[in-house]
Amino acid sequence: MKFFEVPRGLPYQWLLPLCFFCLGLIYIYAAPHFEASDSIAHVGMIKWIADHDGALPVQSANHAQLYRQQASQPPLYYYMMAAIWTALDTSDFDEFFRLSPFAIVGDPMRLGNRNRIFYRQPYPPNLHQGTSLTLYVIRLVTLGMGTVAVAAVFQSARTVMPGREDFALLACALTAFNPQFVFISASVSNDGLVIMLSALITWQTLVMLREGFQTRRSLVLATLIALASLAKLSGLVFAALVILAGIWILISARDRRGFLVLLGAALVIWLVIAGWWFLRNLALYQEPFGTATMVDYVGRRQTTIPQLLAQEFQGLRISFWGLFGAFSILTRDIHYQLMDALTLVSAAGFVVFAAKHRRDRFTFAAICFLVIILAVACLTLVWWSLQTTASTGRLLFPYITAISLLMAMGLTALRIPALLVALPMLAFSIAAPFLFIIPNYDHPPQVDELPASAEQTFARWDEITLIGYELQRPERKASGLEIPLTLYWRAQRESTETRALFISLLDSEGSPVTRLETFPGWGTLPTRWWQANTIYRDDYILQIPQDAASSAPAQLHIGWYPFPGGDDMPPVLESGEEAAVYSIELDFAF
């Protein structure tokens, strides 16, 4: 396995963060601005603060506000990004931000309509409009936060196992080359700030466990804790974790002065930097954290831990390793299965690692500290998920330093080469935007002429003409049957009207089996943006549920209606006659 030996002498402490940053640029390119989880609400918070001279919104039952439940979030990230928003021109926001009514959120098994808003120019990135440029700047800054977090993971690994470049590289790769971590780090999200601060806290606490108390480090940790708690409530958890590590040092080293300095600094600096926000919550919501108000806003749930594990554990593991868009774009099953196997192997190896180092005082203390972080992460996630729907992998990212180090311990104990893990993860992370993200947001391609493989036809709905189609036989999938369909449209002229497309599959008795409503390009390109005398290739997949009754040859009905709420437009056929509907006879059963 010499090929997978870690080369000596390379400056991994900056090489891996740089590699992560470059990888993040690919994701910034691939994922449009509002397509990560809660990005719309995060932008709403930034915009509100910028538009109201720094004033924070108050959480209420008014669901019309763009910031929605994020009004209950600590404000540090939003204040930072509001400064960028104010400095740049965003006067075109209302024109730029146009919600798609057909967007699918939270259901990765349904296809198409992934875009939350319409993008006039998804690729290459639109750097001309002020709002788009502003959001790219914000995303670059957020990506920089993720880059700092990656560097902190590397330094944490070197702290735990000095001189083991393979261990540091492996731990860092498990963070930096996790596609979901890159995706979140390249989006507009307050997760980026709390992840960075939490990674720095974890690193500095590990150094404290190794070297003991130091006044300067205690002040740094106290400041990081205060900032983290003002970035997101998960950052407040690290206050207890740092104090717990301090108690370990107090007992083992009997350094009362050092512990009191740490405790006092943490309390005083937290009160100065973050205390005002918690007092504000008490005044507004009669609670210090605002979580009960947030849960009342998004909706409480009634469930049990067994039900939670049975229903949502699969979604949690998938969304930790790669679930893009608004929880709507999966990768491949083999990816999740390989990461499951890697996790199980590392867990088995961790037992070996812990047993081997049980007599090493510092290493054992570091292991205990990291295990406690992971346990607290799981407990807080379960606690929050019992109150409201929250079983998503990104909520574990503030604890990703501990997760990556513990996995790296297990893999190292089993002598699995670092590059054997790092290189495939890097390759997949590079490929994922092109394989899974871009195809869901790109506009339908323009073609010069109807291909020979297409069936020529003619049907016209005002300025829209269907000139051909390709219809393939059904493909058997786990969820049922899928029928690939390609339509070829010609725009006779430019239009200011918005038309919605529907495609209905009817069985032999005329009963509907499935119906798809969308805009062209499976939701990406409204008709008002079509270019005159241009042919568009428009690809779809019709999903037939498993429980649908089998049918003899049936029909496809294709039509348009003015959006919203208009009556179906009757098509004009090649003969010049007006038909009630345009239909295609299928030559196969399903």
> Read out DSSP for 300-336?
-----HHHHHHHHHHHHHHHHH-EETTTTEE--HHHH
| 99-103, 465-469, 477-481, range with the lowest pLDDT | 477-481
pLDDT value at position 477? 72
Q: What is the pLDDT of residue 181?
A: 98
SS3 of residue 422 by DSSP = helix
* d(C-alpha 45, C-alpha 40), whole Å: 9
Q: Which two tokens stand for residue 305?
A: 């831990």
Percent of the chain with pLDDT over 90: 73
- Summarised one tens digit per residue, pLDDT across range 283-304 is 999 999 988 888 877 777 788 8
Please check the confidence at residue 44 and state whether its pLDDT lies above 90: yes
d(CA 204, CA 200): 6
Distances (CA, A) of 174 to 169, 315, 333, 397, 402: 9, 20, 19, 12, 11
pLDDT at 299: 75
- Contact between residue 166 and residue 417 where contact means Cβ atoms under 8 Å apart: yes
If you search the block for the tokens 């080369």, which residue do you land on?
A: 7
DSSP at 499: E
CATH homologous superfamily, domain 446-585: Immunoglobulins (2.60.40.10)
> Which amino acid, one-letter code, is at 513?
V
Q: Stretch 535-551: mean pLDDT, rounded?
A: 84
User: Over the stretch 409-444, which tens digit does the pLDDT of each residue have?
Assistant: 999 999 999 999 999 999 999 999 999 999 999 999
Q: Which two tokens stand for residue 160?
A: 């735990």
User: Side-chain half-sphere of 102: how many Cα atoms within 13 Å?
Assistant: 24
Residue pair 269/226 in contact by the 8 Å Cβ criterion? yes
Q: Find all residues with CB under 8 Å of 424, minimum gap 6, and list them.
A: none
Interatomic CA distance for residues 135 and 119, integer angstroms: 13
Q: Note the residue count of the chain.
A: 590
**CA 115/CA 100 separation, integer angstroms:** 7
Mean pLDDT (the chain) is 92
What three-state secondary structure class fits 539? strand
226-267 pLDDT, tens per residue? 999 999 999 999 999 999 999 999 999 999 999 999 999 999
- Name the segment(s) of the chain with CATH classification 2.60.40.10: 446-585
Taking the C-alpha atoms of residue 303 and residue 308, their distance in angstroms, rounded to an integer, is 7
Reported as a pLDDT band with limits 50, 70 and 90, residue 335 is very high
pLDDT beyond 60 at 131: yes
pLDDT value of position 306: 85
Ramachandran assignment for 581, one of left (phi > 0), alpha (psi -120 to 50 degrees), beta (any other): beta
Assess whether pLDDT exceeds 60 at residue 396: yes
- pLDDT-wise least confident of 195-209, 272-286, 378-392: 378-392
Higher pLDDT pick, 295 / 119: 119
- How many angstroms separate the CA atoms of 377 and 234, rounded? 9
Map tokens 């292991």 to a residue: 367
pLDDT at 551: 66
Q: Region 87-113: what's the mean pLDDT?
A: 91
Q: Which pLDDT belongs to residue 246?
A: 96
For the beta carbon of residue 353, count every other beta carbon within 10 angstroms. Answer: 20
The whole-model pTM stands at 0.94
Distance CA 319, CA 394 (A): 7
Top-confidence residue, 38 or 430: 430
The yes-or-no verdict on residue 7 having pLDDT over 80 is: no
Q: Which of 139-153, 358-372, 385-399, 425-439 has the lowest mean pLDDT?
A: 385-399
pLDDT tier for residue 3 given thresholds of 50, 70 and 90: low
Position 572 scores a pLDDT of 93
**Can you name the residues that pair with 461 across neighbouring β-strands?**
464
Beta carbons within 8 Å of 65's beta carbon, 6+ residues apart: 44, 48, 57, 71
For residue 386, pLDDT beyond 90? no
Q: Which of 286-295, 475-484, 498-507 has the highest mean pLDDT?
A: 498-507
Nearest Cα to 131, choosing from 186, 194, 188, 185?
A: 188
pLDDT-derived band at 407 (thresholds 50, 70, 90) equals very high
